[in-house]
Structure 1
Amino acid sequence: MNETLIEIGQRAQTAADQVALLDTATKNRALGAMADALRTHQNEIITANQADLAQATDMPKKFTDRLMVNEQRVADMANGLRTVARLADPTARIDRGWINADGLQILQRWVPLGVIGIIFEARPNVTVDATGLTFKSGNAVILRGGKEAIRTNTALANILRAALEKQGLPADAVQLIEDTSHELAQEMMNLTDYIDVLIPRGGRGLIQRVVKTATVPVIETGAGNCHVYIDKDAALQMATDITVKAKVQRPSVCNAAEKLLIHRDVAAKFLPTIAQALLDHGVQLRGDDQARVIVPQMQAASNADWDTEYNDLVMAVKVVDSLDDAIQHINHHSTHHSEVIVTDSIERGRAFQQRINSACVYVNASTRFTDGGVFGFGAEIGISTQKLHARGPMGLDQLTTIKYEITGSGQVRH
């Protein structure tokens, strides 16, 4: 095991023990100080980011958009920290308490997870969002970003660490691994003595690699093969607006819609209008046989298309025979992230929500709302697509666990 990585893990454990004991007011002051430091050093951050962008000549535009940091994005990061400071501290509450038949006083309390490891790709905002959420919830964080953003991430981490030191708090609550090699990432995935939980953030390839190879417990996040299903009772204008916005607003993010399913009873009427609106925004359409009969300019969809997260202006289209067919298709092909039904039927909307096996299921609203900030969490550590122990956008509460504190007066069990 890499000695430097072990040292990082040991320092993180020490910092986590210290941060877990901080009161809410202290943590909030530190978050404010970190936010102020980002704004004070924004030119340093942007300069580092420009150096990263200059090296990212082979990156597709959809990924350089995620990598890019400007003055507004620095402001957004800082505001995110201030928002987290205003949120309720989950570790400050006792969930419930009772006295059992033996006279023991039992308290159920929310406590930090400990040391959280995050492996992510070219999204510098993750450095700040993860720091804010882990610190407020009483954890320490070890960050390992991609090589594409190493200069930006290093600048951000150094600024955040310096702000903590000025507050007399442990800088090692935030640590960035500057070695971006796959070998070190693999060792991090096996750092079971020091990391309590690992959260991958990035494309499906990264996430699956971590899930399959890590020995540290993993929360699976991110991959979004999201669907919009237009039911036979849908309104055309609403269906068009939701589909277009869900696809084109930010096609590179995990909550963008990737698939369009449409009920056969309205396909002939609705699909030409919706398809044209998508084509007008530069979306490449790939359809099944029935969809291509209605809109011949679509390319033919392959079997692989139904399982692909494009992160681009590409959308696959399928005509389905019924609500049941739509639900079956989605549950089989989705990544269990976010799905939408557009319908005027309360009953069919409710059936869709009950039967779809995804973290976020919408009736008549865009998949793009699946976001920790939108949900009121301030920011998010990621969007979990699994069922244990967190699901959907992960905020402060999802970075804690339960601890039972039991007080007696000399009881022994007979």
Structure 2
Amino acid sequence: MREEILLMGRRARESARQMANVNSDVKRQVLERMAVALERESRAIASANEKDIQAALEKGLSKPKVDRLRLTPKVVDEMMTGLREVALLPDPVGEITRMWTRPNGLRVGRMRIPLGVIGIIYESRPNVTVDAAALCIKAGNAVFLRGGSEAFHSNHCLAKILQTALRETELPETVVQLVETTDRDAVLDMLKLEEHIDVMIPRGGEDLIRFVTEHAHMPVLKHYKGVCHLYVDASANLEMAEEIALNGKVQRPSACNALETLLVHQEIAPAFLPRMAESFRKAGVELRGCPRTREILPDAIPATEDDWYAEYLDLILAVRVVDSMDEAIRHIAAYGSDHTEAIITENFARGHRFLQEVQSSLVLVNASTRFNDGQQLGLGAEIGISTSRLHAYGPMGIEELTTTKFIALGNGQVRS
């Protein structure tokens, strides 16, 4: 297997060199063809996905994990929409981001170029196969994929469809390569290909991300987990707060941007918590509260210290009553994961202060944490959400899959 992985790495490097010089029209055409191909092969996708779902159920995987595997017609439509949206986005490659002139007349600037070969190791979600390919191609990169064993059939089917579209536009199918084995040694072999893979992006649980970070010989863009907070301020519109909290927790609890901890100002807690709790109970959400929360909601399960660090990815929510916004911000700094935080407030100054002082990858005022998503933020699809600040922070779209090189334009200057 090691030799096969090495060969794939060499092919990826050669494909990346070609992709760096492919013009924007060709990249747009291949992404549009990929969208058409997904629609054309929807039955094959559904059949492959059903094999993975059945295997997951037989293995007793949890409901959130099975949910992340499903390629429903809606998810397939979203993949096609993502491809088309990325196709229409401006091509970043070759963009001059800045120019300045030195005293000797030398004009210096920075130009966007592809990163090269992007390695992605991911669990569960087979839609990552398509999202990653779309963004990498648009940014002029080659992509080297290794999905989880639980999504093997779905990933294989999707990769073959994408490769067909590449061939139809006379691009090398090795622009998108999927490691077609469930052998974990293949992951270790990938992580040693620093000569052929420029950056590694792990997507999955905390254990996977720590494993990749520990063993990778190349830079890793990562986020370990999403402990996302919503702070309901004393000046909050309670109806808005209830709706946003419910959306953040219930709309898709298995997502990394789902709400995990609710912080409520003491002044409005007696009015807000009972109505909120009723809505959550109807939605099947288990509440775990601090002592002050349980004085208002005695049915809440006592929260432990571990609950404030928890990424449940399930219908469970930790709730804490705080004395002030200062205490809310301190709580987020102590227990957060730099992913997503939101405030509900009618006070402009407090909202602005929250934006300034909370340093997570996305900070929102009066909106759900579920918006920390590349497509929702207007990036098209995303390749992941980085909570490490080098070289990207937050959802990674096309620009985050490029870097800049220096260029200089002279008219005979020499250095003295």
| TM > 0.5 | yes
Letter in 2 for 1:77: M
Q: What is the aligned partner in structure 2 of residue 308 from structure 1?
A: 310
Distance in 1 separating the partners of 2:74 and 2:259:
26
Report what 2:174 is aligned to: 172
Q: Which residue of 2 aligns with 1:388?
A: 390
Q: Secondary structure of 1:412's match?
A: coil
Cα drift, residue 412 of structure 1 = 2.8
3-state SS of 2:298 partner: coil
Which of 281-290 and 36-45 deviates more?
36-45
State the SS of the aligned residue for 2:383. coil
Offset at residue 83 of structure 1 (A): 0.9
Aligned to 1:56: 56
Look up the match of 1:203. 205
1:14 to 2:14 alignment: yes
The one-character-per-residue Cα deviations of 1:186-244 (angstroms, maximum 9, x if unpaired) are 23223211111111111222222222332210111362110011111112211111111
Read off the aligned partner of 2:56 and give its amino acid letter: A
Q: Which moved more, 1:383-392 or 1:311-320?
A: 383-392
Q: Is the 8 A contact 1:222 1:384 kept in 2?
A: no
Tell me, yes or no, if the aligned pair for 1:283 and 1:315 is still in contact at 8 Å. Answer: yes
Q: Corresponding residue for 1:232?
A: 234
Give the SS at the match of 1:376: coil
Superposed CA RMSD in Å reads 1.4
How much does 1:71 deviate? 3.1
Instruction: Please report the TM-score for the alignment, with normalisation by the length of structure 2.
Output: 0.96
Corresponding residue of 1:4: 4
- Asked if the contact 1:91/1:138 (under 8 Å) is kept, the reply is yes
Q: Name 1:223's counterpart in structure 2.
A: 225
Percentage of pairs with the same residue: 47
> Contact 2:13/2:142 (CA < 8 Å) preserved in 1?
yes
Residue 184 of structure 1 is matched in structure 2 by 186
Unaligned runs of 5+ in 2: none
Could you give the per-residue CA deviations for residues 126-170 of structure 1, whole angstroms, max 9, x where no partner exists? 000000000010000001110000111011101111111121111
Contact 1:222 1:382 in 2 (8 A): no
Which amino acid in structure 1 is aligned with residue 315 of structure 2?
L
Give the count of matched residue pairs. 414
Mapped partners of 2:374, 2:178: distance in 1: 23
Moved runs in structure 1, 4+ residues, more than 4 A? none
Instruction: Find the aligned partners of 1:314 and 1:187 in 2 and give their Cα distance.
Output: 38
Give the drift of 1:258: 0.4
Alpha-carbon distance, 1:296 to partner: 0.7
Describe how 1:26-175 pairs up with structure 2 within 5 A.
Answer: 26-57=26-57, 58-175=60-177
Retained in 1: the 8 A contact 2:210–2:224? no
Amino acid at match of 2:206: R
Instruction: State the Cα distance separating 1:409 from its structure 2 match.
Output: 4.1
- 1-structure distance, mates of 2:320, 2:193: 44
Distance 1:267 1:186 in 2: 50
- Equivalents in 2 of 1:100, 1:236: separation in Å? 56
Preserved contact between residue 222 and residue 383 of structure 1 (Cα < 8 Å): no
Q: How far apart in 1 are the matches of 2:223 and 2:379?
A: 16
Shift of 1:269: 2.0
Give 3-state SS (helix, strand or coil) of 1:156's partner.
helix
* Pick aligned residue for 1:362 from 361, 364, 373: 364
| Residues 228, 259 of structure 1: 8 Å contact kept | yes
The answer to whether the 8 A contact 1:226-1:339 is kept is: yes
Deviation at 1:179, TM superposition (A): 1.9
TM-score, normalised relative to structure 1? 0.97
Q: What aligned pairs does 1:237-252 form with structure 2 within 5 A after superposition?
A: 237-252=239-254
Cα distance in 2, alignment partners of residues 194 and 50 from structure 1? 34
CA distance in 2, matches of 1:146, 1:317: 33
CA distance in 2 between counterparts of 1:231 and 1:134 reads: 40
Q: Give the Cα separation in 1 of the matches to 2:355 and 2:69.
A: 34
2-side partners of 1:408 and 1:94: how far apart? 16
- Partner residue of 2:347? 345
CA distance in 1, matches of 2:241, 2:72: 34
Mean Cα displacement is larger for which, 55-64 or 94-103?
Answer: 94-103
Residue in 2 aligned with 1:282?
284
CA shift for structure 1 position 92: 3.8
Residues 381 and 393 of structure 1 are in contact (CA less than 8 Å); yes or no, is this contact kept in structure 2? Answer: yes
Q: Deviations over 1:304-355 (max 9, x none)?
A: 1111100000001111111111100101111111111111111111111111
Deviation at 1:38, TM superposition (A): 1.3
- Unaligned ranges ≥5, structure 1: none
Distance 1:302 1:181, change over 3 A: farther
